[in-house]
Amino acid sequence: MRAIDHYLCLLKDGHQQGLEYFMQRHLRALTYFARRMVKEVEVAEEIVQDCFVRVWESRNRFESAENVKAFLYIATRNACLNYLDAASTRRHARSEELSEDIQHPDSDVLTGMIHAETIALIHQELERLPEQQAVIFRLIYFNGLSTEEICESLGISANAVFLARSRATQTLKRVFKGRNLLYYIAFVQILVRG
């Protein structure tokens, strides 16, 4: 029996542990998925929380862990669409309650799900970086800082950069092989040394 099936059983037996497992597995990517649709973070959070509550309420219906995941994405997508439609007062009768839907999610939901999960995986790699490298990564890619600005902001912890250098290079290679982040790291180190 796979661990995931064990947790599915717990969920079906009404143990919150089972639900906690599925949250741990899907909540982050799902919230990101919802956020892309509705823009406001608070709305996305509400929608996703509500969908997990609905998983709990319909727990008897799931035959596999994949059913749970499909239900989550379909229900979240529909709730987002309903939220967006609410402004124009249109209401779609969306039928994620039907089990056929859980077996065959449509293409939009599938690509959205795969996109969200891939970004979650990339982010997980970033979270695995030692702190110093994660800082450099965020400065370059998320804050758009130039090499000089990075040197300046890391100036006081230059020693930490040296110490972490070889490990950083190794780890980053695993994240984005051949990407120019490595050059940035090298630059930072050269400039800091000089």
Partner 1 sequence: MPLHYDIPSLILKKLQEVITPEEEILLEAWLAADPANRVLLERLLDEPEVMADAKAFDELWGKERGIIRYNRMERNVLADTVFPAKQRWRQWFPYTAAAVLLLVIGTWKFFSNTATINSEAKIVHANDITPGGNRATLTLADGRSIDLSEAQTGIVVHDEDITYSDGASLVAIDNEGKKIEKVHQLMLATPRGGTYRITLSDGTSVWLNSASTLRYPSRFADNERVVELEGEAYFEVAKVAKQQGKGEKKEGWPFRVVSAGQTVEVMGTEFNIAAYPDDAEIKTTLVKGRVQVASDRERLSPTILVPGQQSTFNHEKIEVNTVDVQRYIAWKDGFFYFNGDSPEKAFAQLSRWYDIELSYASTIPAVQFYGKVERNKTLGSLLKILEKAGLEFEVVSKDSGYQLIIGANEESL
Q: Is 156 in the site for partner 1 (CB under 8 A)?
A: yes
Q: Binding to partner 1 by residue 23, rule CB under 8 A?
A: yes
| Residue 10 touching partner 1 (CB under 8 A) | no
Contact 65, 78 (CB under 8 A): no
Which one of residues 9, 86, 98, 121 is an interface residue with partner 1 (CB under 8 A)?
Answer: 121
Query: Should residue 100 be labelled a site residue for partner 1 when binding is judged by CB under 8 A?
Result: no
DSSP, residue by residue, the chain: --HHHHHHHHHHTT-HHHHHHHHHHHHHHHHHHHHHHH--HHHHHHHHHHHHHHHHHTGGG-SSHHHHHHHHHHHHHHHHHHHHHHTTT------TTSHHHHHS--HHHHHHHHHHHHHHHHHHHHHHS-HHHHHHHIIIIIS---HHHHHHHHGGGHHHHHHHHHHHHHHHHHHSTT-THHHHHHHHHHHHH-
Minimum CB separation of residue 53 from partner 1 in Å reads 5
Residues 54-93 that bind partner 1 (CB under 8 A): 56, 66, 69-70
179 binds partner 1 (CB under 8 A): yes
From the list 19, 38, 80, 161, which residue makes contact with partner 1 (rule: CB under 8 A)?
19
- Between 81 and 160, whose beta carbon lies closer to partner 1? 160
Q: For residue 143, which phi and psi values (nearest 5 degrees)?
A: -105, -5
**Tokens describing residue 48:** 């996703």
- Asked if residue 16 binds partner 1 (CB under 8 A), the reply is yes
**CA–CA distance, 73 with 108 (Å, rounded to integer):** 10
Contact status: 111 vs partner 1 (CB under 8 A): yes
Stretch that binds partner 1, among 26-34, 80-88, 90-98, 184-192 (CB under 8 A): 26-34
Residues in contact with partner 1 by the rule CB under 8 A = 14, 16, 19-20, 23, 27-28, 31-32, 35-36, 41, 45, 48-49, 52-53, 56, 66, 69-70, 105, 107-108, 110-111, 114-115, 117-123, 125-128, 130, 135, 138, 141-142, 152-157, 160, 167, 171, 174-179
